[in-house]
Structure 1
Amino acid sequence: MSSIAAQVILHPKLSQSLAVLATTIGRDKAYRLIQYVSRLLAWFLLRRGDVEAAARWEGLKNGLASARRVMRLFRPAEFLQSAMNLAQRPVTNLRGPAQVAHLAQIGRQLGYAGFFTNDMIVWLGQVRFLKLDKFQLERFQRLTFKFWLSGIVFSLISSSASMVKLRADSKRFRLSTEVSRRESSEKGPDERAREESEHRERGRAMLAQRQTLLSQLIIDSCDIWIPATGLGYSNVNDGVLGALGAITSYMSLQTQWRKHAAAGVRKNI
């Protein structure tokens, strides 16, 4: 039994899971996954008439939402800093989709900075640190949803423009690869091998970028319904919102898992 316990406790997957959960973003995504699964279960149990069980999951959802707000208290500064860094980059060499993606990314950072700022004010009002009445809390909560929605819209614009740019870059890359291969007969074997290696590396990088953009588009397309429903722009029930939030939370958690796995591989090289 002790051998089995040691294998479980010292398993590399468990070590990687602990490494992900040791980061603030990793914990936030894990809490968010449980929060939206709880939202889905509370809705499902309430529809079945099991009020007591639904209340338990609703309580867990609200507790995790409050815990996540504590972890995000200083995130507005992070997004404002990112927006400032992006704004200071020269854009004279950017054209078309690249410029749209760059400007939309600045809008995304500002949108999320506003979202986290108002979300922090709502939490401070709920814990009675700020003296806010019910109507003030509702106003700040509505502002929270508006900034969240604007951040997601800008993110969708940025990702879409980046996909257009990536498609054009991929076409140019394929053409240059074909030209290079036609001319390879005049080159030495070492130079041909080096060029083939560079082409494969660049192709893998462009594929990884495409997968990242597609993942972000899916996440934003799902998440946009949460603030839209909170603002009354759509009428999606808690079950659907819980399922959408759980899907995007799992996808974000997978991203953090892959980052730590890649970091572990680089560390071992």
Structure 2
Amino acid sequence: MPELPEVETVKRTLNELITGKRIRSVTVKLPRIIQRPAEPEQFADALAGHTIQSVERRGKFLRILLDGLVLVSHLRMEGRYGVYAADEPAELHTHVIFHFDDDTELRYKDVRQFGTMHLFMPGEELELPPLNKLGIEPLEPEFTLEALRGKLAHRTSKIKPLLLNQEYIVGLGNIYVDEALFQAGIHPERTADSLAKAEWERLHESIRATLERAVAAGGSSVKSYVNGQGEMGMFQHQLLVYGRKDEPCPSCGRPIHKSVVGGRGTHTCPHCQPLKAARAANKSKRAT
């Protein structure tokens, strides 16, 4: 699933490609992609004649701002956008086509068919699902150490599932949580309330630094992700633990371990991210 760096990259490329274009008509080939309004015909009719002003991001969602409307789009597992000439044949699994006045088209392709689109009046999208319960943006000034600890430090759940919960911090997925926890030296099965202040400081810094590097590299093309121009991301070449089971840890040389935490495949270095020692220290702290 595209995470924050990938969606941010798509946002930036679409801004270059479709800002200022006027929608002549919309073709919906797979109605279930359209979640709001209820009927795809209403969706198509509402968008006809509107001009795209900009493309923004909220968490893993795209916000396509038009003159008088906002289209909220989630790519889910394998959704992707691309701009094509109108006379170019559409690829298989192309489910929604935005036909522009200049004889180009924005096409939404989704092999897994899990993507969604919601149409709102401006401002309404932030008050209603799917955006209304989203948490802090980790690349914005609001993502402070105090905000991170305030959201999570008192919780007794494991830290990895908490970081994946979009109601606390948005945009983080499996790849970047594994990477950030490794760089912070924190095992993903540690409970949030067991982390010391210095660990929260390292985690806060590693989340921001990991995401910033990934955005600069255009995201990670671990599976099928490409940006709006059909280009792969390059951050997969910088991953330290994710997808590197049994390879040597870049810090200590010991093998990377893969396990399941919160139902998600999880990559750690047991030496650099100790769990047993942390549990023992936490028990000692509580006993005193």
TM-score, length-scaled by structure 1: 0.26
> Which of the pair has more CA radius of gyration?
1
Structure whose residues are more often helix by fraction: 1
TM-score, length-scaled by structure 2: 0.25
| More contact order relative to length (CA 8 Å, sep ≥ 6) | 1
Structure whose residues are more often strand by fraction: 2
